[in-house]
Structure formats: C-alpha cells, structure tokens
Amino acid sequence: MQFVIQGGKPLQGEVAIGGAKNGAFPLMAAALLTGQSTTLHNIPDIADIRNMIELVTALGVEVSFANHTLKIHARQLTSHELKRDISKRLRASIELTAPVLVRLGKVVFPHPGGCVIGERPIDLFLDGYQKMGAISSVIEEMHELSMERPKAITFVFPSMSTTATMCLMMLGTIADGTTTLINCACEPEISMLADFLNQAGANVSGAGSPTITIEGIEKYPDREIAFSNIPDRVETGSFLFLAAATKGHLTLTHTNPSHQAVVLDLLARMGVTTTITADTIEIFPPDVMKAVSVKTHEYPGFATDLQSPLIIALTQANGKSIVHETVFEGRMFWLEDLKRMGAHVMILDTHRGSIEGPSKLKGKELKSPDLRAGMAYIIAGLVAKGKTTIHDVEIIDRGYEGIEEKLKALGADIKRVS
C-alpha cells in the first residue's frame, strides 16, 4: 500500500487523539495476569493491537473488540507459548511473558521484534525474572522461562526500561513479600498500569516515580473490571509538530496536555503559540519558527518517538538545530531521504543529526523505514511542493489509526492506493 500526497495545502480543524498504543499493550497483559473479566475502553484500532489480540487469543483467551472497546475473559489460559511469527515482529509481545509465567508457571517466546531502530535487547527482563526465581533457557531460538511463585526482591534497573518496569511490576503484585524496583521508567503508561492493577486488587505505590514498591498478594480476587486507556502521547506530539511544520491551525481534542509539558515548552521556544484546556490543545500557525536543539530522553524528557516528526518541523525553522538521539542508535539514517527532498540536513553520527532551515521541500518517492519515520515522511509530504509517494504504509498503520482520514478532514490532499 502507498500514500500519495499533494503537498502545500493549508491544514485547519479539529482532530481527535486516539488511545495510547503503548498503554493498551500492558493493560491487555494485566488482564491476563488478573484472570478477571475486563473491559478496556479507548483502545486504538491499529495493526499492532490486532496482532496483540491474535497473540492473546492463541493463548486460549476470549477476546472481543469493537468501537474501541476491548473485552477480555482470561479465566483460563490453555497455552504457554507465544506465537512465533507475530511475536517476532511485535516488541510488545514480551509484555505477555509476565502473566503467562505467573498463571501457568512457564512461558516460551521468541526474541520480540518491532521497528528496526537499533539494538533492543531483553537482558533486563531475563535478569529481573531470574532474580525473582525464574529458570531461563534457550532452545531452538526460543526463550523458555519456568517459575513457581515469584520471589519478592529489591531490583535496580541499570538503565530505564518502560517495558521491563511494567513486567517486573506485574510479577511483583503476586510475589510473597515486598518488591522494590529502583531506577524505574516514569511514563504515564506505567502509572496507568499501576492504577489498573490496584483496581484489580493489587497494592502498588510509587508508579510514575523512579522507585516503585509492591506489596504482594496471594491472588487476584474474582471481580469484573472496567478501565479506560489514556490518550496517545506520541500521536498528540506528532500532530503538534505536523501543525508547526505545515503552519496549520489545529485543535487536538481527547488528549492530555499534562503529558506534553516538554513538547509544549519546546514549541514555545520555537515561537509557536498554543492554548490548552483540560483535554484540548489548540496550536496556531507561526509567522516565523526558530531553530532549537534537543536531546531525546526517557519521560518526562523529550520522547525518542517524536524525534523524527520534530525534525520535519525544524526544516521549516530559521537557523541550525542539532537533534541528539540518546535512546536508540539507529534512528538517524532516514535523514538521507529527507536530504533528497531538499532539506539541509546532515547525519553527524549514529546519534546526532544537524538541520538547517528553512528548507523548501520537494515531493519524492519514499519507503517507510519504521513507524515514526513513516509518520515524519507524511508530514514532509504535506509540507513539500508537488507529489510525494510513501510506500509500505502498513508500517505507519501499526501506530496511527485512520491517519489519512484524519488528515483529509483537516484539508490534506492524501489518498491510499494499492
């Protein structure tokens, strides 16, 4: 599939932000952990969620999904093995290892996949699982973990990891004693997961801070749970930078501005004006944008997933910017395509890129290298003069629901063709 974009169209209007992709995954995993009948609201209808549903269903779980509401009945699991083909292309599949290990005492899974954006090891997971009592082996490229009841531990993460924090937090809820996790990731999705677990009967405190304490329980009570996913931080940021790059006037609804503090501050330093309410952000077309330099960082710092949309906005800013990618080492290579479009950009090394603007972009034929760079290509195509064709848009579908329909409603000339 391809997107064909005729750039240069003014964009204005309202766009509703969907539920968090990276929030839905741990909620689905936690539903398996508790075994309770769970209804999850505000779940995005995207390819990665459909893949996760297939993985969960293959474990023997009853699942229904319609109108952004996901119902999960996980009272019985019938398999301890994650499907190899899906798991190898979905990084979030590893989040299912904690509940399956707890419920069945064993889990078998391949090395998880996802976007090709640099090294993504699972050493932290294995180290934490082993310290909590798991026995680990690798047989024919499949990881096997077995465990009786998890042991309560104090575990220090040598580096912050959102997914590893979530997995060890889930294990800690049914460990015998008090588990303390130190140097935890602090993303809103982690706080939300703790809220869900506590509603289900767990005792988690400190989520959203570097130290999380979990008082283990014997088992989760049998109850029905209804819970709402938070808005997607990355989709929100993507549309903010899209508006800045295209000099659009947009109002983002169904979002959480408190999760965008760093992004909104950055836009202000670029000379972009915004106004916010409890759940909306209005962004106004800037007369002139100023260059800024940025380092990506774990939350509450500037998100690595917003690095590429930001770079497109910086191509339209006055001056020289340096973007330093500190999380993944493979996220700058797409700048060569941006250079072909006429951008004054340079890859300084595997972690840093230089952008000098403003640049007049010209439409080109491109291929999505990963989810977030694919979204950046869409923004570049909307800015550029002429036609831009983006191939492999299925990669973009993994994280953005109905992106072309949302953009058309704002005045963009974009169509999907096979």
Q: Is 115 a catalytic residue?
A: yes
3-class secondary structure per residue, the chain: CEEEEECCCCCEEEEECCECHHHHHHHHHHHHHHCCEEEEECCCCCHHHHHHHHHHHHCCCEEEEECCEEEEECCCCCCCECCHHHHCCCHHHHHHHHHHHHHHCEEEEECCCCCCCCCCCCHHHHHHHHHCCCEEEEECCEEEEECCCCECCEEECCCCCHHHHHHHHHHHCCCECEEEEECCCCCHHHHHHHHHHHHHCCCEECECECEEEEECCCCCCCCEEEEECCECHHHHHHHHHHHHHHCCEEEEECCCHHHHHHHHHHHHHCCCCEEECCCCEEECCCCCCECCCEEECCCCCECHHHHHHHHHHHCCCEEEEEEECCCCCCCCCCHHHHHHCCCEEEEEECCEEEEEECCCCECCEEECCCHHHHHHHHHHHHHCECEEEEECCHHHHCCCCCHHHHHHHCCCEEEEEC
Judge residue 241's burial from the number of C-beta atoms within 10 Å of its C-beta, 0-12 exposed, 13-18 middle, 19 or more buried: buried
Q: Which residues are catalytic?
A: 115
